Amino acid sequence: MIPSQQYRFLRHSLRDGRSIKSDTSRWTKLHLDPWLLCFLILNAILGLMVVYSATAQDMGMVMRQGISFGIGFIAMFICAQIPPKVYQAASPYFYALAVLMLVLVLLIGETRMGAKRWISLPGIGSMQPSEFMKFTMPLMMAWYFARKPFPPKFLQIVGALVLLGIPFVLVALQPDLNIGLIIPGIFVLFLSGMSWRLIGGAFAAMAIVAPLAWMFLLQEYQKKRILTLFDPESDALGAGWNIIQSKIAIGSGGLTGKGYLEGTQSHLGYLPEHHTDFIMSTYAEEFGFIGVFLLFSLFAAIILRCLMIGMNSFHNFGRLYAGTVGLTFFFFVFLNSGMVSGILPVTGDPLPLMSYGGTAVISMLASMGIVMSIHTHR
């Protein structure tokens, strides 16, 4: 039997067990990966620069985002010091805490723009528990599948779908059909060696369920977002405004961009949410095609480094988790970029380490800290 691509990923290491080579470098003693750390710092600097421009040079918002990055890098350093086996043991408790927080959102959460997504913390501000669940989900799924031999059996996959379904339903009640919540779990399923026959069956089931979801699950504004994707000019001053202005901003950037702080679509108020969901449009307008190419190169370096760490890990938990973090990072880059360029519906998912928002930044950097822990604890 020819091994699958996922199986080769999981068994890539030349040896299982502890590393024979003793690495006593300063970076290893600090449990940090210098390449990944360098890429993340560059991404953080670039993110603060774009937030400064997108917020009309509002130093207050830049300082708050800078504090979020500072907390995130501290969390990353702390997470990198803890051995992966501790995360593996604590994963079910993290998952239970995240589910509890999602329940609390429904009970005492703040309502903004028609949805309960935030919890107010005295003296700290508000946070989105769904972002914490994005941090917890790959840990839980990696723990679930790492306990038994690969590839997973059918009943294991059913159990994993239940673990995915609980937070998805709780978030849908907010209401918010945040597909990014379950994507990490789906990537763990794929990397664990789930057969292509089951993957094909899952897509067939989704095709059957899609009409029912359209009729009974999707809210009116969500249906409008999907319809607007195909013809944004049909409601140019309403639902299609975001996509039209975003494409104008991206197109007007040209090859080299208008220059830093010289964007007009965002600074004159035409581009909505230009410092959060549509920050890529602001960046593309000011830095052009060349700037976007360099940014995507930086994203690719982060993704590939995570995948390399996963492939060189000596235990299945580390392989699954590091690989999932890299693929999840790719997914959110693809989702946000597709959204702002008009090839995907508007979802409200931020661009990793670029969009304004503290919870997403901290959870992403903490995840990168666990990836570094997997790399340095041999």
Q: What whole-number distance in Å separates Cα of residue 134 and Cα of residue 184?
A: 7
Are 106 and 116 in contact by the 8 Å Cβ rule? The answer is yes
Q: What whole-number distance in Å separates Cα of residue 201 and Cα of residue 207?
A: 10
Q: Give the CA angle between residues 63, 136, 177 to the nearest 5°.
A: 85
Residue 33 Rama label (left phi>0; alpha psi -120 to 50; beta): beta
Residue 91 structure tokens: 């994963």
Element (H, E) at 121: strand 115-121
DSSP per residue, 112-167: ETTEEEEEEETTTEEE-HHHHHHHHHHHHHHHHHHTSPSSPPHHHHHHHHHHHHHH
Are 274 and 239 in contact by the 8 Å Cβ rule? The answer is no
Phi/psi for 111 (5° steps) reads -95, 120
- DSSP 3-state of 336: helix
Phi/psi for 2 (5° steps) reads -80, 125
Query: Starting at the edge strand that comes first in sequence, how are the strands of the sheet with 115-121 ordered?
Result: 110-112, 115-121, 125-127
Radius of gyration of the chain (CA): 21
Q: What whole-number distance in Å separates Cα of residue 190 and Cα of residue 198?
A: 10
Q: How many CB atoms lie within 10 A of CB 103?
A: 14
- DSSP 3-state of 111: strand
User: Which tens digits make up the pLDDT trace of 258-275?
Assistant: 998 888 887 777 887 778
Domains in the chain: boundaries: 32-376
Element (H, E) at 305: helix 279-311
Q: Whose structure tokens read 């989900």?
A: 137
pTM to 2 decimal places: 0.85
Q: How many CB atoms lie within 10 A of CB 90?
A: 14
Phi/psi for 130 (5° steps) reads -65, -30
Tens-digit pLDDT string for the chain (378 aa): 555 555 555 554 444 444 445 556 788 888 899 999 999 999 999 999 999 998 888 899 999 999 999 999 999 999 999 999 999 999 999 999 999 988 888 887 776 655 667 777 666 667 777 878 888 999 999 999 998 888 888 888 889 889 988 888 888 777 666 677 788 888 998 888 887 787 777 778 777 877 877 777 777 767 777 777 777 777 777 777 778 888 888 988 899 989 988 888 877 778 877 788 889 999 999 999 999 999 999 999 999 999 999 999 888 999 999 999 999 999 999 999 998 888 888 777 889 999 988 888 998 999 999 999 999 987
